[in-house]
A and B are shown apart, each in its own frame.
Chain A
Amino acid sequence: MKLPVIIRNCLTLSLLLAVSTVTSTAHADVVVIVSAKSHITRLTVAQTAKIFLGKASSFPDDGDALPIDQAEGSAIRDEFYSKVVRKNSSQLSAYWAKVIFTGDGRPPEILESNVAVRKAVANNPNSIGYIDKSAVDRSVRVILVP
């Protein structure tokens, strides 16, 4: 049976939308971490958002804050930004495009896995990252469960 082109396109579109809905519900349990050597014990959602958007370059007590991001398109990244910054991945790309192309700054460094972020954060008392709860060990401290 041959469907008219417009109906086929509509079906493809609905299928794409359905798939995107399923993938976005497969979420992780994100926690925000600093090194166990850091003296930071907690941060608010707003303070964390400012650090990851480059609007604050230090912790509230004035120590330098060095955010570490996870890979674009990863479930953990999407969950972090929807819970903490209230932006989806397109809004976040648009935000960084504006910052970069006006010469105002550049996005945080990206590391590719929970383990890589945990190791980098553990080794630098100025770093701040987010990982899945299951990847937390004694080398890092959880300072926010958004």
Chain B
Amino acid sequence: MAIGYYFIALLGIFACITNAEAVETDQPMVTFGGFGTLGVSHSGMRLGDYTLDSGIPKGPGLSEDWSTTNDSRIAGHLAAQFTPKVSAVLQVDSEYHTGNTYEPEVEFANVKYAFIPNAYIRVGRITLPTFLDSESRDVGYTYIWIHPPVELYRQLAITHSDGVDAMYRVEFGEVGHTIKAIIYGENTIERSTSKSISKDMWGIFDTIEYGPTTTHIGYQERLASSENLQTGVTGAWVRNSDLSVGVNYDPGNWFAMSEWIQRKSTTKISAMYVSAGYRIKKFTPYLTYSQNSPGSFLPGFPPPTANSIRLANRAQSTVSLGVRWDFMRNTDFKLQYDQVKLSDNSNGFLANVPANVILYGERFHVISAVFDFVF
């Protein structure tokens, strides 16, 4: 992928040299900003770790009593507007991940060319707009919860990758459409014992805005496989397709939103949440229910192994009650209480559960607190 970055750098230099058009406003050409979250959480389930995604190696529960691994991060964002049409961004994010480190990763690095103000193409590292908040899921300050609902957001197979995306914004009367299309190159995600590989990925997404209602519809496909890091054997390539729909209604003092996804590979899985909140001056209490279904195996594939049955059957549901307090400019404090219920035939998404420990049907609570900031 190094070639990709040289390409971006070259494009940037090219944009600087060919800066013939004057920038229309007096805004600075290069701006630096960033965001971060300091978070701590505790789980009442002491036989497994409560982690937000499979890339986080440990969390509250078994490994730690109070843990900072789930929600803490810091990121820097550099944006450059070379001409009214050419701009670039670089975003580096440090959070706890595989390998037990906070080693920074490049989340965004792309060059944008806006043909007209309502249409652009970007080349480089871009994020996948599967959900309403998936592109800004790391920026806690931008949403109401401690973190986006786990059962749905764990279905986000890929967060970012190197490729090309295009956006076109168009209005029909009072209805605005923001249409995005993406094509990704090969993507690998390393876990402790395996490596997930995706290729031939594309997707199309439409965000429809009408008054206080925002609707988001997305469809994406990819070929996916997994390499066993011990044996070096790569499994069969399977076509994955994801269909996602989300609605947000926000007339001002209150909001309600819901999102749903159906994922098809060798199995079919769906997940959803509903969430609502009410703004009382600087406080916003909210309530969320989220769940994911167990995977049902689709015909036409070899019989599943014991491990693939275990991975497909990780259903759980969560009721969350929380409050966001906007106590200072560009800073918030949030508290959240989750009641998690594991399905009757799985340990849900709990990580590091010792072999032979069965927690089927268990209920437990998670308490989390975060400070979010942007600068």
Contacts of B91 in A (CB 8 A): 101, 103
Q: What is the number of contacts between chain A and chain B, taking CB atoms within 8 Å?
A: 77
Query: Taking the complex as formed, is A90 at the interface, i.e. its CB lies under 8 A from any CB of chain B?
Result: yes
Check A9 for interface membership: any CB of B closer than 8 A.
no
A94 adjacent to B79 (CB under 8 Å): no
The listed residue (A66, A72, A100, A109) touching B33 by CB distance below 8 A is A100
Chain B minimum-CB-distance residue to A102: B135
Asked if residues B282 and A90 are in contact (CB atoms below 8 Å), the reply is: yes
Q: Which residues of chain B come closer than 8 Å to A72, judged between CB atoms?
A: 329
- Residues B281 and A109 in contact, CB atoms below 8 Å apart: no
> Which residues of chain A (7-38) have a CB below 8 Å from chain B?
17, 20-21
Residue B21, interface by CB 8 Å = no
B107 → A minimal CB distance (Å): 9
CA distance A124 to B217 in the complex (A): 39
> Is A58 interfacial (CB-CB < 8 Å)?
yes
Contact between B81 and A106 (Cβ–Cβ < 8 Å)? Answer: yes
A55 proximal to B (CB < 8 A) = yes
- Residues of chain B at the chain A interface (Cβ within 8 Å): 24-27, 31, 33, 35, 75, 77, 79, 81, 89, 91, 108, 110, 112, 117-118, 122, 127, 133, 135-136, 139, 141-143, 169, 171, 174, 176, 209, 211-212, 251-252, 279, 281-282, 326, 329-330, 332, 374
Across-interface contacts of B211 in A (CB, < 8 A): 46
Cα distance, A58 to B211, chains bound together (Å): 19
How far is B325's CA from A90's CA once the two chains are assembled, in angstroms? 10
Complex CA distance for A64 and B25, rounded to whole angstroms:
13
- Which residues on B sit within 8 Å (CB–CB) of A119? none
Residue of A nearest to B112 (CB): A103
B24, A57: Cβ atoms closer than 8 Å? no
Complex contacts, B81 vs chain A, CB 8 Å: 106
Q: A17-B281, A66-B25 are in contact. Are A89 and B108 (CB under 8 A)?
A: no
| B142 & A94 in contact (Cβ 8 Å cutoff) | yes
- Asked if B27 and A109 sit within 8 Å, CB to CB, the answer is yes
Q: Mark A88-106, 1 if CB is under 8 A from B, else 0.
A: 1110011101101111001
Contacts of B118 in A (CB 8 A): 57
Contacts A101-B75, A101-B136 known; 19 new A-B pairs at CB < 8 A? A46-B174, A55-B209, A56-B171, A57-B117, A66-B24, A90-B332, A95-B142, A97-B35, A97-B136, A97-B139, A100-B33, A100-B79, A101-B139, A101-B374, A102-B127, A103-B122, A106-B27, A106-B81, A109-B25
* 14 CB-based A-B contacts, threshold 8 Å: A17-B282, A55-B209, A57-B117, A57-B118, A89-B329, A90-B326, A97-B330, A98-B142, A100-B79, A101-B35, A101-B91, A103-B89, A103-B91, A106-B79
Q: Is A4 an interface residue (CB 8 A)?
A: no
Contacts of B25 in A (CB 8 A): 66, 109
Cα-based distance from A103 to B160 in the complex (angstroms): 13
